[in-house]
């Protein structure tokens, strides 16, 4: 084998090792929610989202909630399976909440899909954890 090929193969192996290590999601922590979700159309997370480890395979998500509809309530505490990827979907009272964690685990994109077909989006930035 040509020595140049060996160097190239080692570089590829090194890149794959780093990429695999960096691609582990960190879901637990505290995230501050921005105000981009339309509270006149959807029930939106408000204030902070706190995600804690309940067991090795489950997480607890606690968040303030706000919105124009009476059924929104003021907070949610949900137990969810621990995601192994950077995305997950939570179903609560017929609504779907799609969470997408950034590759560096510092922010969340939130897509609210309500059972009345309203859709809203929001974001949250990690402050702790």
Residue 106 sits in a domain whose CATH number is: 2.40.128
For residues 123 and 108, the answer to whether their CB atoms sit within 8 Å is yes
Residue 83 lies in a domain: yes
Most confident among 3-7, 19-23, 73-77 (mean pLDDT): 73-77
- The proportion of the chain whose per-residue pLDDT surpasses 70, expressed as a percent, equals 83
Residue 14 lies in a domain: no
Query: What is the Cα–Cα distance from 43 to 33, expressed in whole angstroms?
Result: 13
Overall pTM > 0.85: no
Residue 61 lies in a domain: yes
The length of the chain, given as a count of residues: 129
- Enclosing domain of residue 122: 26-128
Q: Which structure tokens are listed for 124?
A: 């949250």
Looking at the structure of the chain, the number of domains it has is 1
């Amino acid at each position: 084998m040509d020595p140049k090929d060996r160097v190239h193969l080692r570089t590829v192996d090194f890149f794959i090792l780093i990429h695999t290590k960096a691609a582990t999601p960190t879901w637990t922590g505290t995230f501050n929610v921005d105000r981009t979700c339309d509270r006149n159309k959807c029930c939106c997370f408000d204030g902070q989202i706190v995600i804690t480890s309940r067991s090795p395979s489950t997480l607890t998500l606690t968040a303030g909630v706000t919105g124009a509809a009476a059924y929104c309530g003021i907070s949610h505490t949900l137990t969810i399976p621990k995601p192994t990827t950077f995305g997950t979907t939570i179903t609560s009272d017929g609504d779907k909440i799609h969470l997408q964690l950034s590759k560096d685990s510092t922010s969340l994109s939130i897509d609210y899909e309500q059972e009345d077909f309203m859709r809203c989006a929001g974001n949250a930035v990690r402050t702790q954890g």
